[in-house]
């Protein structure tokens, strides 16, 4: 999930009749109708389209994929029934969204992680970073905390106990290499690699920049028990919709795992 996506306006329905028909097809009132899933274009809609084209028909699932470029409309559309589910976000983001908007959207199944990795054009190993090295990190709240936790998990820094998803460099308690941090928009971190000693880069931006996380990253997030995994989500109460259950099973199938491995070359990791 990208945390620097542009916010756009989507017109979801025109008139009560149209909205009613849309909700009927997407929501719980007609579990025999199509399941419309809101998704970000990459990799979420691509994964869903693979399921739609290769797996859904065999399970009797009429799956429709609706792409959104922002991180607000997929949740509001799921809440009001214009779509039956969404696939684009992680738990810290959803928790914050529900709290701020009074929504009650819940995760169904975690599918993948877009791992953060530490990259460098100047050193081959994280331990080779020199004293006073400059490391670029994303400047948005969630990804900055993730970046710092990644560095801490690999012994480059120590964060104060109990620090959450709002960690900043001010929460560093030990910095043996005296690393300096350059806070940039997440999309800019891979472009900074010639100007800094290392940079923490999101998986999707690594993919766009021809970085191969599995090969090029000095250190890389693990998908195991990772709170930033992206999941299929529905409005609370819709978890038992048989269409949702079918999709959840297909999204965590061996076929989808292989598709993710083959297509994304480590920039997206299956979480199952």
Average pLDDT, integer, range 88-95: 92
Q: Which two tokens stand for residue 247?
A: 């999709």
Q: Which residues contact 18 (CB under 8 A, 6 or more apart)?
A: none
- Whether 4 has a pLDDT exceeding 50, the answer reads no
pTM exceeds 0.75 for this model:
no
Task: Please tell me the predicted confidence (pLDDT) of residue 28.
Answer: 41
73: Cα within 13 Å, side-chain hemisphere = 19
Q: Does the pLDDT of residue 151 top 50, yes or no?
A: yes
- Give the pLDDT band of residue 224 (cuts 50, 70, 90): confident
Average pLDDT over residues 15-40: 60
Identify the CA nearest to 92 among candidates 164, 170, 200.
164
The reported pLDDT for the residue numbered 105 is 98
The average confidence (pLDDT) of the chain is 88
Residue pLDDT, tens place only, 115-144: 999 999 999 999 999 999 999 999 988 889
Other beta carbons within 10 Å of 161:
7
Average pLDDT over residues 85-114: 94
Q: pLDDT-derived band of residue 8, with 50, 70 and 90 as boundaries? A: very low
Sign of CA dihedral 184, 208, 157, 227: positive
DSSP strand E in the chain: where? 35-39, 63-67, 85-89, 105-113, 117-119, 134-138, 158-159, 172-174, 180-184, 198-201, 219-220, 230-235, 269-270
248-259 pLDDT, tens digit per residue, is: 999 999 999 999
Residues 147-167, mean pLDDT to the nearest whole number? 94
- Measure CA 12 to chain center: 23
Query: CA geometry: angle at 136 spanning 132 and 46, to 5°?
Result: 150
């Amino acid at each position: 999930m990208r945390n620097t996506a542009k916010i756009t306006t989507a017109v979801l329905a025109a008139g009560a009749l149209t909205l009613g028909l849309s909700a009927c097809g997407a929501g719980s009132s007609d579990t025999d109708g199509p399941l419309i899933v809101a998704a970000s274009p990459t990799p979420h809609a691509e994964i869903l389209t693979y399921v739609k084209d290769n797996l859904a028909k065999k399970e009797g699932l009429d799956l429709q994929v609706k792409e959104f470029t922002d991180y607000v409309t997929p949740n509001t559309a799921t809440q009001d029934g214009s779509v039956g589910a969404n696939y684009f976000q992680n738990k810290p983001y959803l928790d914050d969204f529900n709290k701020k908007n009074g929504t009650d959207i819940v995760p169904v199944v975690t599918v993948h992680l877009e791992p953060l990795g530490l990259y460098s054009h100047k050193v081959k190993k994280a331990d080779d970073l020199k004293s006073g090295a400059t490391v670029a990190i994303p400047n948005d709240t969630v990804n900055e905390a993730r970046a710092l936790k990644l560095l801490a998990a690999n012994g480059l820094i120590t964060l104060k106990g109990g620090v959450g998803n709002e960690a900043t460099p001010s929460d560093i308690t030990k910095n043996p290499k005296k690393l300096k941090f350059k806070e940039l928009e997440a999309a800019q971190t891979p472009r900074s690699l010639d100007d800094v000693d290392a940079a923490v880069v999101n998986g999707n931006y690594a993919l766009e920049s021809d970085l191969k996380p599995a090969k090029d990253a000095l250190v890389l997030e693990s998908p195991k028990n990772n709170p930033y995994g992206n999941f299929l989500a529905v409005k609370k109460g819709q978890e038992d919709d048989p269409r949702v259950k079918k999709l959840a099973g297909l999204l965590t199938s061996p076929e989808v795992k292989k598709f993710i491995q083959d297509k994304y070359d480590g920039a997206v990791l299956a979480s199952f």
